[in-house]
């Protein structure tokens, strides 16, 4: 166990997984993974949410230990007990949340905790010298005296990488490094990864952006449902081939076929008149039975606020009627009794009770119907929950904690809850946020199915394509008002975006 890898250019590591398996609470997350990561390459790791990418990287990084199989580093079987041990062997992870001290300078951050000292005082000159030597070898140029807090995120990531290198890391794991970055920073970070590869480091890159993987990686590994699907040179892959490997099927249409828009005479299930609430400045619209209405607009335009006001989650003025009958009051209870249900935009903060079981989360809004005199009829509840979960295609034991599910399945659990109560109107706020490609179609199908069953659906999304793909009619929101109503041929991305941004309504020229 020689752990004194001193500087950059340290021995390159061959990391190998042999039959690695890992489960959480009885659910296998990884099964029989055999994988060799060749020294000096940029190795991409792709897969849907819940495919096991992060778990795999965490096993290599020493955050988890494998239940089955072995991790082999340079021919030696190792079970890292902690990230510290992994780092001692030259393996470091660059996390999405950076652990830097903003007030300290670049060089101080890089050598934090191992500053060169003379008689107890930090030797600044030596610090700078070492920093420059290190940065040179890595091929980075960053001013050592800049406070880290003043740097762009991509540059902060560089600092984080340099810190890992200063500790002798030669195998760098990057988990979604560009997920939170703007276009410019993404470019910069891509440069960093290339630089690392050029200076002889091995990089394991986990990313949702397939174009990024194809551009940067030498080799790419696809995981699906915790299993290793294939590892191939990137040159042999395309975006389509990767997606098909991730999904395990060919890539069909992203959106379900639209049902015919309801005819003019179809009854309105939801009628909103002069709605005023915090962030909502006088909104009137209606939704007919079987119609999907999309609310588009920029973040903060007031779309979710409209949904909350209709649902009675905030105090409101104006009228909200379901099937022509005014709701009894502006409370959530009145909305639910009227057959309106909201699937909120943030499932973790507003939707699920994460500590509780899947089953309880499904039935939370419908307990009144599953109990007599406050006493829950558990057999009925179990049957109801199972039936609902089958409808939204969530498998597995519904007694486990809902936090164990993937993002897509968590969203489906919320749909399962909504299906019991949304008798007339379903409002889905950002229904596919944080949901992987494979589960998206399932959620779109659920939305389309509701509309076909005669329910009026309101879909709120920041993803213009999603709104266009699903809705019969689009309302563009800006400043808490409806600024455009688009239907039929006028439903184009250009029109939506123009209306969302520009002051004059685009309808005149068209």
Residues at the interface with another protein (CB under 8 A): 21, 23, 25-28, 31, 63-64, 67-68, 311, 313, 332-333, 336, 342, 344, 349-356, 360, 364-365, 367-368, 371, 374-376, 378, 396-397, 399, 417, 421
CB atoms under 10 Å from CB of 238, counted, come to 11
Backbone angles phi, psi at 83, to 5 degrees: -60, -30
For residues 71 and 474, which CB has a smaller minimum distance to another protein in the complex? Answer: 71
For residues 163 and 417, which CB has a smaller minimum distance to another protein in the complex? Answer: 417
Shortest Å, Cβ 340 to another protein? 10
CA angle 86, 87, 91 (to 5 degrees): 75
For residues 68 and 445, which CB has a smaller minimum distance to another protein in the complex? Answer: 68
- Secondary structure in 3-state letters for 146-164: CEHHHCCHHHHHHHHHHHH
Shortest Å, Cβ 396 to another protein? 6
For residues 140 and 341, which CB has a smaller minimum distance to another protein in the complex? Answer: 341
Shortest Å, Cβ 63 to another protein? 8
DSSP 111: T
CA angle 347, 363, 399 (to 5 degrees): 85
For residues 167 and 228, which CB has a smaller minimum distance to another protein in the complex? Answer: 228
CA angle 159, 160, 165 (to 5 degrees): 95
Shortest Å, Cβ 422 to another protein? 12
Among residues 309, 308, 375, 318, which one has the least CA distance to residue 343?
Answer: 308
Give 217's contacts (C-beta < 8 A, 6+ positions apart).
41, 42, 43, 44, 205, 234
Rounded Cα distance between 345 and 95, Å, is 26
Question: What length is written for the chain?
Answer: 510
Burial of 374 (0-12, 13-18, 19+ CB in 10 A): exposed
Shortest Å, Cβ 174 to another protein? 20
For residues 155 and 360, which CB has a smaller minimum distance to another protein in the complex? Answer: 360
Shortest Å, Cβ 225 to another protein? 12
For residues 397 and 465, which CB has a smaller minimum distance to another protein in the complex? Answer: 397
For residues 67 and 445, which CB has a smaller minimum distance to another protein in the complex? Answer: 67
For residues 197 and 370, which CB has a smaller minimum distance to another protein in the complex? Answer: 370
Token pair for 195 = 């630089």
Shortest Å, Cβ 481 to another protein? 24
Rounded Cα distance between 433 and 12, Å, is 39
Give 136's contacts (C-beta < 8 A, 6+ positions apart).
none
Taking CA atoms, 478 is separated from 43, 89, 311, 482, in Å, by 43, 54, 20, 6
For residues 25 and 300, which CB has a smaller minimum distance to another protein in the complex? Answer: 25
For residues 68 and 74, which CB has a smaller minimum distance to another protein in the complex? Answer: 68
For residues 54 and 170, which CB has a smaller minimum distance to another protein in the complex? Answer: 54
Shortest Å, Cβ 9 to another protein? 34
Shortest Å, Cβ 86 to another protein? 16
Among residues 419, 44, 43, which one has the least CA distance to residue 202?
Answer: 43
3-state secondary structure of 53: helix
Shortest Å, Cβ 34 to another protein? 16
Shortest Å, Cβ 26 to another protein? 5
Rounded Cα distance between 474 and 203, Å, is 44
Among residues 292, 283, 338, which one has the least CA distance to residue 487?
Answer: 292
Shortest Å, Cβ 351 to another protein? 5
- Pseudo-torsion of CA 358, 360, 362, 365, nearest 10°? -160
Contact predicate 189/156, CB 8 Å: no
296, containing H or E segment: strand 292-297
Give 324's contacts (C-beta < 8 A, 6+ positions apart).
267, 268, 271
Rounded Cα distance between 192 and 205, Å, is 12
């Amino acid at each position: 166990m020689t752990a004194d890898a001193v500087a950059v250019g340290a021995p390159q590591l061959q990391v190998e997984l042999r039959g690695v398996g890992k489960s959480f609470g009885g659910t296998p997350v990884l099964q029989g993974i055999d994988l060799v990561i060749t020294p000096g390459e940029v190795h991409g790791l792709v897969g849907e949410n819940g495919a096991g990418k992060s778990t795999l990287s965490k096993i290599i990084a020493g955050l988890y230990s494998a239940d089955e199989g072995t991790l082999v580093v340079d021919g030696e079987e190792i079970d890292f007990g902690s990230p510290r041990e992994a780092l001692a062997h030259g393996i470091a992870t660059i996390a999405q949340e950076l652990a830097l001290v903003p007030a300290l300078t670049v060089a101080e951050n890089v050598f934090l905790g191992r500053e060169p000292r003379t008689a107890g005082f930090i030797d600044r000159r030596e610090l700078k010298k070492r920093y420059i030597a290190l940065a040179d070898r890595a091929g980075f140029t960053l001013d050592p005296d800049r406070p880290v807090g003043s740097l762009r995120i991509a540059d902060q990531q560089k600092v984080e990488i340099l810190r890992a290198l200063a500790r002798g890391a030669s195998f760098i794991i990057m988990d979604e490094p560009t997920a939170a970055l703007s276009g410019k920073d993404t470019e910069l970070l891509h440069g960093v990864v290339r630089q690392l590869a050029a200076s002889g480091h091995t990089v394991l890159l986990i990313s949702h952006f397939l174009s990024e993987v194809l551009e940067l990686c030498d080799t790419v590994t696809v995981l699906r449902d915790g299993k290793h699907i294939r590892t191939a040179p990137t040159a042999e892959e395309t975006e389509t081939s990767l997606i098909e490997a991730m999904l395990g099927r060919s890539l069909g249409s992203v959106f379900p076929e639209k049902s015919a828009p309801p005819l003019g005479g179809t009854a309105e299930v939801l009628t909103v008149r002069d709605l005023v609430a915090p962030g909502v400045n006088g909104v009137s619209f209606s939704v007919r039975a079987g119609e999907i209405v999309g609310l588009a607009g920029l973040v903060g335009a007031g779309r979710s606020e409209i949904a909350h006001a209709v649902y009675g989650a905030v105090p409101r003025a104006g009228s909200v009627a379901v099937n022509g009958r005014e709701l009894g009051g502006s409370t959530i209870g009145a909305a639910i009794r009227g057959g309106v249900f909201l699937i909120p935009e943030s499932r973790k903060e507003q939707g699920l009770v994460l500590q509780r079981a899947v089953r309880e989360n499904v039935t939370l809004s419908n307990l009144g119907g599953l109990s007599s005199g406050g006493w829950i009829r558990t057999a009925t509840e179990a049957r109801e929950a199972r039936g609902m979960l089958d409808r939204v295609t969530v498998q597995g034991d519904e007694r486990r904690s809902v936090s164990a599910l993937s993002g897509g399945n968590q969203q489906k659990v919320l749909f399962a809850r909504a299906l019991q109560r949304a008798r007339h109107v379903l409002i889905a706020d950002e229904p596919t946020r944080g949901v992987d490609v494979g589960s998206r179609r399932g959620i779109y199908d659920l939305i389309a199915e509701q509309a076909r069953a005669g329910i009026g659906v309101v879909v709120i999304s920041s993803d213009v394509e999603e709104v266009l793909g699903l809705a019969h009619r689009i309302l563009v929101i800006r400043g808490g008002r409806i600024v455009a109503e688009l239907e039929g041929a006028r439903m184009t991305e250009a029109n939506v975006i123009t209306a969302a941004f520009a002051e004059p309504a685009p309808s005149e020229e068209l």
